[in-house]
Amino acid sequence: MTRDFVYSTSPAHIVFGSGKAGTVGEWIDRIGCRRALVLSTPHQRADAERLAETLGSRAAGIFAGAVMHTPVEVTERAMEIVRQTGADCVVSLGGGSTTGLGKAIAYRTDLPQIVIPTTYAGSEVTPILGQTEGGRKTTVRSAAILPEVVIYDPALTLGLPVGMSVTSGLNAMAHAVEALYAEDRNPVSSLMAAEGLRAFKRSLPAIVATPEDGEARAEALYGAWLCGTVLGTVGMALHHKICHTLGGRFDTPHADTHAIMLPHTAAFNAVAVPDLTAPVAEVFGGSVGGGLWDFARAAGAPLALKDLGLSEKDLDLTAEIATQNPYRNPRPIDRPSIRALLQDAWEGRRPD
């Protein structure tokens, strides 16, 4: 029987296709803008320069200073460039860090955003912005934060290193797994979550085997869109709480942290909601946690928190912070069980 639900869609334009990054100029016109500030990380500056060149007079300038966790100081420097150049929109070319900077600018100015994602993090389809100030990470949600146009162009992801492709894919899959048991899930979010998992099940092994496989890259971006969309529409739980705690407190790398934690948090919650997590076992085989862990291991993902430089003492603090304030989770949370789960993840043990 269908349960009661609320279904809201996001108003963004989603564009898929190899070579579609070449249509950015048209999209700038279509959203009624004239001059875009192109954003990237320092690492992707050359790609941003190439893109700005193709935009000609529609490019107001480039800011290639995006970094992880969207520090407010970096946003303020970018805001200065926005003012100097008179840009009336931003084009974010890159992963979650670059998208985060574009969102931070939009949050302050309401400038429209066009995002060209080059990882699978999924931030481009959420109205959520995480930013850091003085070492503290805060999260805001607002309609102004949701990008107006997203262009998924697999050609720009062919060079995403295999290791990052795998961890980024597992990061995306974590959004889907938590969406399956979200309190505010709806039939469409559950369909999208299961389809997102299937897309990564098919594409990640193919990418590991042949990183330049355009079909597999396209399918992974399709998965990223699905998984990111559910992240933006339904509530996340234990898994995201723990990863947020580890990243915020110990600065562990975002995608690696998600990749390592996913089999453990999924196994923990599967005990309470086996019917809701059944699609995970169907897609990956075996048990929910074991199937995810085997898939991650076969793809060469990191499996142990100790390899991220965490000590066992850090796990005590993580368990304490992650259980301090109550939040929705399908299985009741207590400190000893979360500490035990973290120990398993630290050692890289396969969950049952």
Binding site for ligand NAD (CB under 6 A): 41, 43-44, 68-69, 94-98, 100, 118-119, 121-123, 126, 128-130, 157, 159-160, 164, 168, 231, 254-255
Nearer to ligand NAD, 102 or 263 (CB): 102
Shortest spacing between CB 281 and ligand NAD, in angstroms: 25
The whole-angstrom separation of Cα 169 and Cα 296 is 10
State which residue, 44 or 287, has the beta carbon closest to ligand NAD: 44
Q: Which is nearer to ligand NAD, 97 or 265 (CB)?
A: 97
* Closest to ligand NAD by CB, 51 or 270: 51
Q: For residue 276, how many C-alpha atoms fall within 13 Å in the half-sphere facing its CB?
A: 25
Q: How far is the CB of 132 from ligand NAD (least distance, A)?
A: 9
Nearest distance in Å: CB 138, ligand NAD: 12
Q: How far is the CB of 32 from ligand NAD (least distance, A)?
A: 25
Q: Which two tokens stand for residue 32?
A: 């009624």
Q: Which residue is nearest to ligand NAD (CB)?
A: 96
CB atoms within 10 A of CB 4: 5
Q: What is the DSSP annotation of 255-318? A: HHHHHHHHHHHHHHHHTT-HHHHHHHHHHH-SSHHHHHHHHHHHTT----GGGGT--HHHHHHH
In the complex with ligand NAD, which residue's Cβ is closer, 157 or 318? 157
**Min CB(234)–ligand NAD separation in Å:** 13
User: Kind and range of the H or E element at 52?
Assistant: helix 45-55
The number of residues in the chain equals 352
What is the C-alpha separation between 52 and 236, in angstroms, rounded? 36
